[in-house]
Amino acid sequence: MTGKENRLAVVLFGPPGSGKGTQAKLLEGRLGIPHVSTGDILREHVAAGDSLGLEVRSVMQAGGLVPDELVSRLVEERISRPDAGNGFLLDGYPRTVRQAETLNGMLECRGADPVVVHLRVDYNRIIGRLSARRQCLQCGALYNLVSNPPKAAGRCDRDDSSLVLRDDDSEPVIRQRLRAYDEQTRPVLDYYRQRPGKFFEVDGGDGAPEAIAGEICRLVGQE
């Protein structure tokens, strides 16, 4: 994104396990803009074992947040690529008020306003969901052993690669991630709530993922 035209900058907001990744994967096809997940970008660095990966690995395994400057730099680099020219869907960023302020600066100079969608889900449901979540090592597809199981146990429907439980999807780490959300990320909601017309709330607990994606498209004015 380089010029000053209007671009769609959708911020999917909500606690871990609220369905941001699932929604982003559905919405990128419908809205024609890429899914930018800071968690996925960080996990790629960890898997590659590069210096950034080594720097963030232990914080991520413990369910804490990596430093604001580091993650904001990754986002800036990602949204500057040509495929984000018409906009992008942010999943997992911003997670602190400081990140939200940095994002505002990035968007202002690109002529884009964020549209924030808050996926509301009960915490008890989140713990159940994340413990049953499995992800394809190869393509990142998400499954749930209860509500959306793969056709063959432990294998991805798309590419037959192994499905894994993320390191940070064990119950004690999930609880720590929810604590980080409460303490550092929830205040970002108040920051965005003060932006009339740009903040929407969606029930992310019930309903089929496709129906929730349809509601989000309607809210962001793309359907």
Q: Binding residues for ligand AMP, per CB under 6 A?
A: 16, 38-39, 42, 59-60, 63-66, 71, 92-93, 95, 99, 168, 177
Nearest distance from C-beta of residue 29 to ligand AMP, angstroms = 20
Has 125 been annotated as catalytic?
Answer: no
Structure tokens at 169: 């999807």
**Considering the complex, what minimum distance in angstroms separates the CB of residue 124 from ligand AMP?**
18
Give the shortest CB-59-to-ligand AMP separation in angstroms.
6
Considering beta carbons, is residue 142 or 214 the nearer one to ligand AMP?
142
Least distance from ligand AMP to the Cβ atom of residue 223, Å? 26
Q: Look up 151 and say whether it is catalytic.
A: no
If the CB atoms of residues 88 and 93 are measured against ligand AMP, the closer one turns out to be 93
> Is 43 marked active-site?
no
**Residue of 57, 78, 95, 134 marked active site:** 95
What is the C-alpha to C-alpha distance for residues 14 and 186, in angstroms, rounded to an integer?
Answer: 8
Residue 20 appears among annotated catalytic residues: yes
For ligand AMP, the closer CB: 93 or 199? 93
Q: Which residues of 177-202 are buried (b: 16+ CB within 10 A; e: fewer)?
A: bbebbeebbeebeebbeeeeeebbeb
Strand order in the sheet with 112-120: 35-37, 87-91, 7-13, 112-120, 199-203
Total Cβ atoms within 10 A of residue 156: 21
Verify whether residue 110 is a known catalytic residue: no
Exposed e or buried b for every residue in 16-25, given b needs 16+ CB within 10 A? bbbbbbbbbb
Residue 91 CA to its chain's centroid (Å): 2
Q: Which residues are catalytic?
A: 20, 95, 133, 166, 177
